[in-house]
Amino acid sequence: MRLFPRLFLGHLLVTLVALGALLLIAEVTAPSFYRHHVEQMVALLGPEGRELRPDLERGMRQTLNLALLAALPFAVGFAAFAAWLTSRRIVRSVRLLGEGSRDLAGGHYRRRLPETGRDELTDLAHNFNVMAGSLERVEQDRVALIGNVGHELRTPLAALRGYTEAMTDGVMVPDQAAPAIGREVRAMERLASDLSLVSRVEAGRVELHPTTFGAASLLHAAAERFGEAYAERGVTLTVQEEPDAAQVRADFERSLQVLSNLLSNALRHTPQGGQVTLAAETAGSGVRFSVQDTGHGIPPEHLARIFERFYRVDPARTRGEGSGVGLTIARGLVEQMGGQMAVVSGEGGSTFTFSLPVALRSEGLVPIGGGVTT
């Protein structure tokens, strides 16, 4: 059965029940009411009025019942009109929702429903629009991801093709091409590894092994890993540690990976003769780590998107120097370990900061090798 007949029957049933209840109440309470008026009429008519008492009572009762029955058609009409108004509003919303759902199923994620009124149907339309917006963003991310992956793979694949053709034409011998081919293969492997990691980070499925360690140990481990690379580029790497910095409770290797991504990013954007400073300090219930460089800085319009996958401030300058997901991975790992990441930038360079939770005193810190405690 369609919606209007069901609503009409429901309204009609309520109307009939109300009329039936009214008739019953009238039969119970009305006699005392009109008997009082009959007595007044009998008193006015005198002795002859007593003979008319039964007729007067019967007439008033019939008049009341007829009045109630006469209201029945109007009640039925009102029930039909109310059902029509209600069904018209509901059916219109349901029809729009059905059409919108079919559009979404067909891949038309820009479809939105009108939000008019302040009832539950408006809330339903609003929730549908929110869902459609989320699906549209997911689809845009998917398309952008496919395009970016294809773009990232194009450079190493073109190089591999060039080396292959050079060996085929006899321009290069295999021994000459092997190192370059190996370098391009490693770039593709790094891209595949980063894509796998960023997908797990965004899904919150990275396995963490929290330990308790000193902030200084993390800074020195990162500086030792990148010392040679910074020296080759002529960039000074400085470590500033707070003497009484608190102990950190997080995954040491993942924390080191976060610092590594930030240091790698800073190295790419700091010119020769520049400086990058690593620092850590206790801030409230966490330890704040920072990587500050003296590079070119990030324009304000790019700061809001700097942590997006494959987003590059200057694609022409950084293409091929990284996978484009390092900052995305870094922020995801920090958030999964219970911290936050931020960036500030200006003409004098950029500063990336992230926080990690402070270890509780009740955890019982026992020193082990490398300054790390567990």
The number of angstroms, rounded, from the C-alpha of 325 to the middle of its chain's C-alpha atoms is 20
Helix, strand, coil share of the chain (percent; to 5): 65, 15, 20
The reported pLDDT for the residue numbered 175 is 84
The 3-state secondary structure of 48-75, one letter per residue: HHHHHHHHHHHHHHHHHHHHHHHHHHHH
- Please tell me the pTM assigned to this model: 0.58
Cα–Cα distance measured from residue 138 to residue 203, given in angstroms and rounded to the nearest whole number = 13
The reported pLDDT for the residue numbered 153 is 77
Q: How confident is the model at residue 50 (pLDDT cuts 50, 70, 90)?
A: low
Average pLDDT for 5-33: 70
3-class SS at 18? Answer: helix
In a domain, residue 125? The reply is no
pLDDT at 319 over 60: no
In this structure, are 226 and 366 located in the same domain? yes
pLDDT at 24 over 80: no
In this structure, are 230 and 369 located in the same domain? yes
pLDDT at 123 over 70: yes
Most confident of 158-167, 268-277, 314-323, 356-365: 268-277
In this structure, are 19 and 79 located in the same domain? yes
- Hey, what are 284's tokens? 């409230």
In this structure, are 33 and 51 located in the same domain? yes
Q: Which residues pair with 346 in a beta bridge?
A: 349
Q: How confident is the model at residue 163 (pLDDT cuts 50, 70, 90)?
A: confident
Look at the chain and report how many structural domains it folds into.
3
In a domain, residue 175? The reply is yes
In this structure, are 228 and 320 located in the same domain? yes
Residue ranges making up the domain that contains 11: 3-105
pLDDT at 51 over 70: no
pLDDT at 84 over 80: no
Cα–Cα distance measured from residue 259 to residue 354, given in angstroms and rounded to the nearest whole number = 9
The reported pLDDT for the residue numbered 372 is 35
pLDDT tens by residue, 197-238: 878 887 778 888 999 999 999 999 999 999 999 999 999 999
Closest CA to 245 of 264, 220, 266, 262: 220
Of 105, 130, 159, which marks where a domain is finished?
105
